[in-house]
Structure 1
Amino acid sequence: MDSPVPPSPSHHSTEPPAEPRVRRRDRHGRGMRGPVAPPQVPLSASRADTFRDLVLDSVERLERRWPQLADVEFMVMEVPPPVSGETVPLGGSAPAEKNEPARVVVYRRPVEIRSKSREDRALLVHEVVVEQVAELLGLSPESVDPRYGQD
């Protein structure tokens, strides 16, 4: 019943070492290994990708009402630049300049820290985008989005 152990390859051999074998057999009857989830399932989406999608959803909602926002560049940055103020901003905006379009920036990490759930995060992202667009357009947030502040 005992099977002999095959001799180890000689280190003095002139042949190059064999490539490591890839195991292709079905171990323990559990099926072949594959990806954890199919590619269309959003398991592989990072938090940054998910956050960017929230910002884009908010912008699309506003562009239907304000077509001039098509010329505004919307950006997501991880954190705001260091400032001496006490509060950390959730977003910022800059008007258009000579060769630069108007910009709205949403800072991902401060928004994530202030929101507990995905729903809270989506609401907060939308509020930040609305506030920054209102600042750019010189309007109140309620005029930019009549549902601002509700919920």
Structure 2
Amino acid sequence: MTARRRDRHGRGPRGPLAWPAVPAMTTRRTRFDDLVLDAADKLRPHLGNRYAATEFAVQDVPPTDPAPWEEQISPLGRLLRADATRVDHVVVYRRPVEARAQDEADLADIVREVVTEQVAALLGVPAHELDPDIDPEA
């Protein structure tokens, strides 16, 4: 018996709806990860040798604390300082950031600001020193 080259309706084998090179195949999560990596790459020169091993990560939502929230605003990012077992981590929370963004350009701006603020906290400098586009009054 020979292998079937077409489906039962004679139209050929089924394939993906969009090929990998088409933007429709890029998920929101992948696009968000790319935004975080782009923002991190722009700040790498500021990290120097001492903080060169800093890792950047994305989590969907912030962890829930056992104590009730004092503020009703969920955090957009977090800096986890290095200890004996891990290096410094900058974590960006995807769902709260996406909830605040109006469009793709706004999303990119918020991600850039969150990453810059966390790196500034790591280095102990104001965020506007790392990125002059960030408003020092905000």
Contact 1:79 1:110 in 2 (8 A): yes
Contact 2:47 2:123 in 1 (8 A): no
Is 1:106 matched with 2:89? no
Q: What is the alpha-carbon distance in structure 1 between the residues aligned to residue 70 and residue 56 of structure 2?
A: 24
Change (3 A) 1:114 1:24: same
Q: What per-residue deviation string (whole Å, max 9, x for no partner) do you get for residues 11-54 of structure 1? A: xxxxxxxxxx932624xxxx986433222112111111111010
Q: What is the match of residue 19 of structure 2?
A: 38
Q: What is the match of residue 63 of structure 1?
A: 44
Q: What is the match of residue 3 of structure 2?
A: none
Contact 2:116 2:127 in 1 (8 A): yes
Q: Which moved more, 1:66-75 or 1:96-105?
A: 66-75
In the alignment of these two chains, the number of paired residues is: 126
- The amino acid across from 1:40 in the alignment is A
Q: What is the alpha-carbon distance in structure 2 between the residues aligned to residue 67 and residue 36 of structure 1?
A: 45
> Which structure has the larger Rg?
1
Q: Segments of 4+ in structure 1 off by > 4 A?
A: 31-34
- For residue 106 of structure 1, give the secondary structure of its aligned residue in structure 2: strand
Contact 1:79 1:107 in 2 (8 A): yes
Q: C-alpha displacement at 1:147, in angstroms?
A: 2.3
Unpaired segments ≥5 residues, structure 1: 1-20
Q: What is the match of residue 109 of structure 2?
A: 123
Q: What is the match of residue 124 of structure 2?
A: 138
CA RMSD of aligned residues (A): 2.2
Unpaired segments ≥5 residues, structure 2: 1-5
Q: C-alpha displacement at 1:114, in angstroms?
A: 0.2
- Calculate the TM-score normalised by the size of structure 2: 0.80
- The amino acid across from 2:129 in the alignment is S
2:61 to 79, 93, 106: 79
Q: Quick one: percent identity of the two aligned structures?
A: 44
Change (3 A) 1:135 1:65: closer
Q: What is the match of residue 23 of structure 1?
A: 8
Q: What is the alpha-carbon distance in structure 1 between the residues aligned to residue 7 and residue 19 of structure 2?
A: 23
- The amino acid across from 1:128 in the alignment is V
